[in-house]
Every structure is written in structure tokens, then in C-alpha cells.
Chains A and B, each alone.
Chain A
Amino acid sequence: QSVLTQPPSASGTPGQRVSISCSGSPSNIGSNVLNWYQQLPGAAPKLVIYNNNQRPSGVPDRFSGSKSGTSGSLAISGLQSEDEADYYCAAWDDSLDEVLFGGGTKLTVL
């Protein structure tokens, strides 16, 4: 069981805004940055949000991130069919001295 908790699934229709949460603890999200990865079917994961709310070059501004206390979230606005993927949050944990990933959220575009 992952120490970072994500909902297993999320869904939305094209054009909608969806949000995926990631809950942790003081030793991980509470004291380190949160990063988000998108994994399209059959592909390697790709960084979509870093340092809680920064977008790498090439990632559409429809993707945004936020963090407050020991939780964070990834939001996707103007949902498109190409956004259908698995999304993972990740953070360093000071107590465990390792990177933790969330269990992943499967986003379905209806």
C-alpha cells in the first residue's frame, strides 16, 4: 500500500475540469516538493508538474498543480481524449529516506 494516497480512478467528459488528489504526511509532502507524472498506455511516465505547481516546457497550460500542508492536487482543465492516462504523484520522504509514489489514478475521458 502506497504511503501517498491517490484515488484509484477519476473521469470527466471532454472540456471538463478534473482534479486528482494526493495525500501524504509531514515527512513527505509536508516538507518536500510534489511532482506529478503522466503515463500513457504502453509508454514511459512523463513529468507534467514539478515543484508543486511548475509545468515543464511542452506541457499544456491546461495542467496545473497545487500543494497545501500534507496534500496536493493535479488539475486538468479543458479535458481532452489524449489526457486519458494514469497519473502518479511523487515526493521525497525524509523519514524513510526514499522517493514515494502514489498508487496512481486512472483518468478516463468519457
Chain B
Amino acid sequence: DVQLVQSGAEVKKAGESLKISCKASGYTLGTNTFARYWIGWVRQMPGKGLEWMGVIYPGDSETRYSPSFQGQVTISVLKSISTAYLQWSSLKVSDTAMYFCVRVGLNRKSSYFDYWGHGTLVTVSS
């Protein structure tokens, strides 16, 4: 079965850095398989809706960001361990949210997210 397993909840202070992870399994036999599917990140602030943050292609690490998140976060991937990352260099209180990783599919210009991670709750205090 395809699974996206995310790292655990984080409690941080404003100004600190953070890197959360999303490890894929079930379709990663041979790194080429993992590399074929784009991986994305979706934010959900407390009590709010879903927001698309950006995607990465594990095959060549090509990355695209939503304008709303460009420069605010960095998406990366380590193909050898089938893991994608989302990181902040300086957290803000407004970064408090649940973050989901998603498997996007073969085309980055897609809203088709067939598998979701369970989410990583990030809480940032002042």
C-alpha cells in the first residue's frame, strides 16, 4: 500500500528554524518509481481551509511554489530515502498550522492528490 509517513508534531518559538519530513513507501521500489511522482505540500491553518504550497519532482528536484509561499519555505527531497522535506529558516507565529504532504501524480500542473500524509502539526509561539 502507498503510504506517506510524516514526522511528528513540533513546538517552536518564533525565529527558530524547522525541517519536517514526509517518507514515501509502497511505490518506491527502485528509486525510479519514487522519482516519477511529484510530491506536494498543503497547509491548513487552525479552523481554516486547504492551501497549496508547492511541489517537487524527486527525479531532478525541480521545485515550484505558490506565490503565497515563495521565499517563505523551502521544499527539498532526498531521493535515496524516498523522503521529501518542508523547511523554514525563521518561523513566524502565523506559521502555526497542520502541514500535509501529498502525492501529486505525473504532472505538476495537477490538483489530483491521490495519497495524503497524516499531517504534521507545527505550533509556533512568541
Check if B12 is an interface residue, CB within 8 A of chain A: no
CB < 8 Å neighbour of A33 from B42, B64, B111, B119: B111
- Given A44-B119, A92-B109, do A98 and B52 touch, yes or no (CB 8 Å)? yes
Interface residue ranges, B against A (CB under 8 Å): 40, 42, 49-52, 64, 66-67, 100, 109-114, 116-119
Asked if B113 and A37 sit within 8 Å, CB to CB, the answer is yes
1/0 per residue, CB under 8 A from B, across A70-104: the answer is 00000000000000001010111010111111111
A37 touches B112 (CB 8 A): no
Q: Label chain B's interface by main secondary structure.
A: loop
Measured between beta carbons, the chain A residues less than 8 angstroms from B113 are 35, 37, 45, 47, 90
The answer on a CB contact under 8 Å between B112 and A104 is no
User: Which of the four size classes fits the interface of chain A?
Assistant: 20 to 34
The verdict on A56 contacting B49 (CB below 8 Å), with A92-B109, A98-B66 known, is: no
How far, in angstroms, from A37 to B118 measured CA to CA in the complex?
15
Most chain A Cβ neighbours within 10 Å, of B40, B112, B114: B112
CB-CB under 8 A from B50, the residues of chain A are: 37, 39, 45, 88, 90, 101, 104
14 other A-B residue contacts (CB within 8 Å) besides A97-B109, A99-B110: A32-B109, A33-B112, A34-B111, A35-B111, A44-B117, A45-B42, A45-B113, A46-B116, A47-B113, A92-B110, A94-B109, A99-B52, A100-B52, A100-B111
